[in-house]
Amino acid sequence: MEENPIRAEEMLTPAELAARLSDQHVADVAEALNRQPPEVAAATLALLPRERAVEVLDDPELDNGAELIEALPLDYAISLVTAMSADRQADTLRDLEPEVRERFLDRLDPETRTSLKQLLAYPENTAGSLMTTEYVSALPTWTAAETLDHIRSVERTRETIYAIYIVDPRTRKLMRAISLRRLIVSDPNATVLSIAVKRKPVSVTPLTDREEVARLISKYDLLAVPVLDRAGHILGIVTVDDIIDAVVAEGTEDVQKFGGTEALDEPYMEIGFGTMVRKRAGWLCVLFVSEMLTTTAMQHFDDELQKAIVLALFIPLIMSSGGNSGSQATSLLIRALALGEVRISDWWRVAARELPMGITLGAILGVIALVRVSVWQYVGFYDYGAQWPLVALTVAISLVGIVTFGSVAGSLLPFALKRVGFDPASASAPFIATLVDVSGLVIYFSIASVILGGRLL
Amino acid sequence: MEENPIRAEEMLTPAELAARLSDQHVADVAEALNRQPPEVAAATLALLPRERAVEVLDDPELDNGAELIEALPLDYAISLVTAMSADRQADTLRDLEPEVRERFLDRLDPETRTSLKQLLAYPENTAGSLMTTEYVSALPTWTAAETLDHIRSVERTRETIYAIYIVDPRTRKLMRAISLRRLIVSDPNATVLSIAVKRKPVSVTPLTDREEVARLISKYDLLAVPVLDRAGHILGIVTVDDIIDAVVAEGTEDVQKFGGTEALDEPYMEIGFGTMVRKRAGWLCVLFVSEMLTTTAMQHFDDELQKAIVLALFIPLIMSSGGNSGSQATSLLIRALALGEVRISDWWRVAARELPMGITLGAILGVIALVRVSVWQYVGFYDYGAQWPLVALTVAISLVGIVTFGSVAGSLLPFALKRVGFDPASASAPFIATLVDVSGLVIYFSIASVILGGRLL
């Protein structure tokens, strides 16, 4: 195995570590601190130049900013937090214990405190919780040259200067947005209003979900999107770099939820054993208890099973095929809904597609099953009994029924969840498999009693 | 149901459509054309002003650029393609039929043709296939003011001007990168080299996977990342807006693959029935044939089943629990690998976490099963026979074994796939469920024969 540079780092004192990190990219410093125990990381942070320490705390790569802040002397911690960007201040304070957070807020200057409290009030994963209040605004009458001068003077305190927002001097409402690119190439003496694109800027509300913010930023190739209140005043902006992190996090959450775990919100290796058990056991138990219905269903059919034990042989095969087709349909629709390719009102169009799709897929599997049973019977690998052609037919027809049920139910489940206000991604593969398992057994035994009734049963 | 503006659009002639789209954002025009049949969309495109048509073709929102190009008169199509940005030229030509593509390439000017052929040669989803060759470069001796003048003169033909690359005048190798932001706020008379950050720019190779490009852009908050050849010359740049689209596509692919479908590469509603059947039937058949091993396994145990039909009742419950825990573990590790939180060499650390995790989760489910069987027996819902305590014990111990196997196997499968060069996301929930089902049956019946041997069996 290759030599691992992390190992060596673990031996260093905070002073050595601080020296080693002095000329590295801030994201790499953040990553190095992530790998250290909080006390060592905090001690290292304290040894970095103050401005550098603020940069590190400002970097979204840093996982445990709140812990570091708590471990530092209060006065120094407050001076660092005060210098941080507004959105990262909020992110960091959000992770603090409530009583520590209050102590911090009390020590900040009133203006910062008010704006921070407002940011902290927005629910997680909304535009409000992602936005920063540090954007560049301009008045419509300013010339391009004046606006550039203004940008130069405020640059240090702004998260991005690539999007400039033109605000009505009287109502303070957003009028237009203009990119730095356009500003640079325009006549320096023209007013910003005259050179801005004559179109209402794309905007979101503080409660817009991060997925929708990402969709807009991606669709319109924006570097930032303004967050407006009802009246049209800018509350802040969400920048593209925050949104990339959000999109990646959203993808992770979708996969984790679809896999049947609660979203972890932390790297796999860093999460504690107890937390991990909680995040996984919850769903596992719910699914287990629901899946117990299969036992109940089978108890109901135990007479049939006694008479035709051959039916039991195909139960896992049939059930898993229903689960698999359901899992396929669910995953396709989860993403189609997430990307806005289909809307809730399209549910019947989806059902109309999945019905023939399920029948086709089920028929393909049914034919394979027919071939398999016939071959095994002819070659003599196994004797399915005198009624084997009827047994094969039962299996094949059940497959059509169950795969069709799986496809239709799997495709509609995300719609149903979205309709009642849940994340469609909660329609996990295990969830849909469980749903289909129980119904699958009932379908299988019902078809068996029709086809084999009076013969085997 | 709400009034749908798409409906009305479907009635419009190309001329009416072109008029209606004239003042809309280019991304909205692209979206509107996506909703039209190719002939209508092409006719509409032909009616737009030429510059506008090029903008639309340049927009990544447009799904079927190749189809539109094919439907237009060849000369006009070539004049449009020539004016497109290099990366979108390549994207569009990639989707053309090979012979049409050759005809197109032959008609382009030699310079464009050479650079396009090079872009087309890179495999999909690599930095090479995402990059554009239209970036801004500067010489180290230029002043900030001179560089800004240069930017103004070339701006129209550059995909982004927010990152400027300083190139050695002799070797043409990349020396430094500087942001427009830094350039704007610096002393106009200082040389660009003196104001650029004194650090080797973050870069990728043309074969770097888009996931890794996204990770770097996100980690270092870049607006673009340069793509270098072995010697260190810039081949092109990948911009943040292309990478957001790529990250979203990657998330979709991960969920779709994990759901057990081939990646669709097209919106759910637009894909043809036949294509959809192909994309889904393949995996479904592979899984079905593998799952037939469960039938084989059960045939092997049919004696035991005959003697103790009560064992059959718990088969779906036990199998699904293994599949669920496997699906959880797989989904967690797929994302952990995708995000670089764990590396291939960490597999044993993961196994060492999942082993106790599986035992714990299995024990929780085992206790629930014990309680359930006992309650049903006592209350008289169902009679599991004289040996019911041993049956309950068999089920509980099997659950520990199967959930542990599911967790460990599920967590290691993505590593194994990555090791042999597959996408870890191919470790779909159905795949792992099938793997666990077969082993689960064997575990269950083996434990049963040990505990119940000589009594029931």
How far is Cα of residue A211 from the mean position of the Cα atoms in its chain? 8
Tell me what pLDDT residue A295 has.
84
CB atoms B251 and A429 under 8 Å: no
Q: Please tell me the pTM assigned to this model.
A: 0.75
- The tens digit of pLDDT for each residue in A167-198 reads 999 999 999 999 999 999 999 999 999 999 98
List of residues 6+ apart from B86 with CB closer than 8 A: B115, B116, B119, B132, B133, B134, B236
Q: Does B278 touch chain A (CB under 8 A)?
A: no
Gap between the Cα atoms of A105 and A120, Å rounded: 11
Q: Which of A173, A184, A252, A259 is nearest to A431 (CA)?
A: A259
Q: Which two tokens stand for residue A375?
A: 């071959």
Gap between the Cα atoms of B290 and A320, Å rounded: 11
B27 closest CB neighbour out of A220, A245, A250: A220
A327: nearest CA partner in chain B: B259
Q: Is the pLDDT of residue A411 over 80?
A: yes
Which of B61, B62, B149, B327 to mutate against chain A (most A CBs within 10 Å)?
A: B327
Q: Does B56 touch chain A (CB under 8 A)?
A: no
| Pairing outcome for strands B163-167 and B136-138 | parallel
Tell me what pLDDT residue A446 has.
92
Q: Is the pLDDT of residue A7 over 60?
A: no
Q: Does A428 touch chain B (CB under 8 A)?
A: yes
Q: If you average pLDDT over residues A211-220, what whole number do you get?
A: 87
- Whose tokens are 């059919």? That residue is A301
A-B CB pairs within 8 A amount to 374
Beta carbons of A56 and A33 less than 8 angstroms apart: yes
Q: Is the pLDDT of residue B263 over 60?
A: yes
Residues of B in contact with A252 (CB under 8 A): 335, 338-339
Exposure string (b/e) for A333-352, b if CB count within 10 Å is 16 or more? bbbbbbbebbeeebbeebee
Tell me which CATH code domain B5-121 carries.
1.25.60
Tell me what pLDDT residue A392 has.
93
Q: Which of B283, B289, B314 is nearest to B388 (CA)?
A: B314
- Which of A155-169, A215-229, B415-429 is predicted least confidently? B415-429
Tell me what pLDDT residue A9 has.
63
Tell me what pLDDT residue B352 has.
92
Tell me what pLDDT residue B2 has.
40
Q: If you average pLDDT over residues A297-311, what whole number do you get?
A: 83
Q: Is the pLDDT of residue B79 over 50?
A: yes
**How many other C-beta atoms can be found within 10 angstroms of the C-beta atom of residue B188?**
12
**How many other C-beta atoms can be found within 10 angstroms of the C-beta atom of residue B421?**
6
Residues of A in contact with B269 (CB under 8 A): 336, 341-342, 346, 349
Beta carbons of A85 and A93 less than 8 angstroms apart: no
pLDDT band at A230 (very low <50, low <70, confident <90, very high): very high
Q: Does B430 touch chain A (CB under 8 A)?
A: yes
Tell me what pLDDT residue A10 has.
63
Beta carbons of A315 and A395 less than 8 angstroms apart: no
Q: Is the pLDDT of residue A35 over 80?
A: yes
Q: Does B133 touch chain A (CB under 8 A)?
A: no
Euclidean distance between the first and final Cα of chain B, in Å?
61
Q: Does B256 touch chain A (CB under 8 A)?
A: yes
Q: Does B289 touch chain A (CB under 8 A)?
A: yes
- The tens digit of pLDDT for each residue in B192-215 reads 999 998 889 999 999 998 888 988
B259 closest CB neighbour out of A268, A332, A403: A332
Beta carbons of A276 and B357 less than 8 angstroms apart: yes
Strands lying side by side in the sheet with A163-167:
A136-138, A163-167, A174-179
Gap between the Cα atoms of B235 and B275, Å rounded: 36
B185: nearest CA partner in chain A: A152
CB atoms B185 and A152 under 8 Å: yes
The domain at B136-239 falls in which architecture?
Roll (3.10)
CB atoms B305 and A312 under 8 Å: yes
| Better-scored residue on pLDDT, B404 or B247 | B404
Residues of A in contact with B251 (CB under 8 A): 247-248, 250-251, 254-255, 335
Gap between the Cα atoms of B300 and B33, Å rounded: 59
Gap between the Cα atoms of B183 and B163, Å rounded: 10
Superfamily classification of domain A136-257? CBS-domain (3.10.580.10)
Beta carbons of B296 and B436 less than 8 angstroms apart: no
Tell me what pLDDT residue B384 has.
83
Which of A248, A333, A364, A428 to mutate against chain B (most B CBs within 10 Å)?
A: A248
The B residues from 391 to 420 touching A (CB cutoff 8 Å) are 403
Which of B248, B261, B359, B382 to mutate against chain A (most A CBs within 10 Å)?
A: B248
**How many other C-beta atoms can be found within 10 angstroms of the C-beta atom of residue B309?**
16
Residues of B in contact with A325 (CB under 8 A): 280, 284
| Better-scored residue on pLDDT, B75 or B164 | B164
CB atoms B288 and A258 under 8 Å: no
The B residues from 324 to 363 touching A (CB cutoff 8 Å) are 324-325, 327-328, 330-336, 338-339, 341-342, 345-346, 349-350, 353, 356-357, 360-361
pLDDT band at B3 (very low <50, low <70, confident <90, very high): very low
CB atoms B1 and A218 under 8 Å: no
Q: Does B275 touch chain A (CB under 8 A)?
A: no
CA torsion sign for A167, B56, B246, B158 is negative
- The tens digit of pLDDT for each residue in A437-446 reads 888 989 999 9
Tell me what pLDDT residue A1 has.
37
| Better-scored residue on pLDDT, A236 or A267 | A236
Would you give the DSSP letter of residue B200? Answer: P
| Pairing outcome for strands B174-179 and B136-138 | unpaired
Helix axes B240-259, B429-452, angle to 10 degrees: 30
**How many other C-beta atoms can be found within 10 angstroms of the C-beta atom of residue A193?**
16
Question: CATH number for the A280-452 domain, one of 3.40.50.620, 1.10.357.20, 3.20.20.100, 3.40.50.300?
Answer: 1.10.357.20
CB atoms B345 and A285 under 8 Å: no
CATH topology identical between B136-239 and B268-452: no
A224: nearest CA partner in chain B: B241
Gap between the Cα atoms of A7 and B59, Å rounded: 46
CB atoms B368 and A285 under 8 Å: yes
Q: Which of A305, A325, A274 is nearest to A436 (CA)?
A: A325
CB atoms A323 and B244 under 8 Å: no
Q: Does B261 touch chain A (CB under 8 A)?
A: yes
Highest mean pLDDT among A240-244, A427-431, B197-201: B197-201
| Residue B51 β-bridge partners | none
Residues of A in contact with B356 (CB under 8 A): 273
Q: Is the pLDDT of residue B5 over 60?
A: no
3-state secondary structure of B318: helix
Highest mean pLDDT among A19-23, A173-177, B81-85, B387-391: A173-177
Q: Which two tokens stand for residue B213?
A: 């490009």
- The tens digit of pLDDT for each residue in A319-349 reads 889 988 998 899 888 888 877 788 889 999 9
Which of A252, A265, A302, A376 to mutate against chain B (most B CBs within 10 Å)?
A: A252
Tell me what pLDDT residue B408 has.
95
Residues of A in contact with B441 (CB under 8 A): 316
The residue ranges of every structural domain in chain A are: 5-121, 136-257, 280-452
Residues of B in contact with A425 (CB under 8 A): 255
Tell me what pLDDT residue B9 has.
64
The CA distance from A70 to the nearest CA of chain B, in Å, is: 25
Beta carbons of A262 and A256 less than 8 angstroms apart: yes
Q: Is the pLDDT of residue B302 over 70?
A: yes
CB atoms A317 and B295 under 8 Å: yes
Tell me what pLDDT residue B10 has.
63
pLDDT band at B7 (very low <50, low <70, confident <90, very high): very low
Tell me what pLDDT residue A2 has.
40
Tell me what pLDDT residue B247 has.
82
The CA distance from B350 to the nearest CA of chain A, in Å, is: 8
Beta carbons of A128 and A119 less than 8 angstroms apart: yes
Q: Which two tokens stand for residue A105?
A: 């807020």
Torsion angle (degrees, nearest 10) of CA A344, A350, A354, A355 = 100
Which of B332, B337, B371 to mutate against chain A (most A CBs within 10 Å)?
A: B332
Beta carbons of B281 and B398 less than 8 angstroms apart: no
Tell me which CATH code domain B268-452 carries.
1.10.357.20
- The tens digit of pLDDT for each residue in B153-183 reads 998 888 889 999 999 999 999 999 999 999 9
Torsion angle (degrees, nearest 10) of CA B446, B448, B453, B456 = -150
pLDDT band at B61 (very low <50, low <70, confident <90, very high): confident
Tell me what pLDDT residue B140 has.
96
Tell me what pLDDT residue B1 has.
37
Q: Which two tokens stand for residue B197?
A: 């950050």
Q: Which two tokens stand for residue B157?
A: 């033909």
Asked if ipTM goes beyond 0.90, one says: no
3-state secondary structure of B171: coil
Tell me what pLDDT residue A304 has.
83
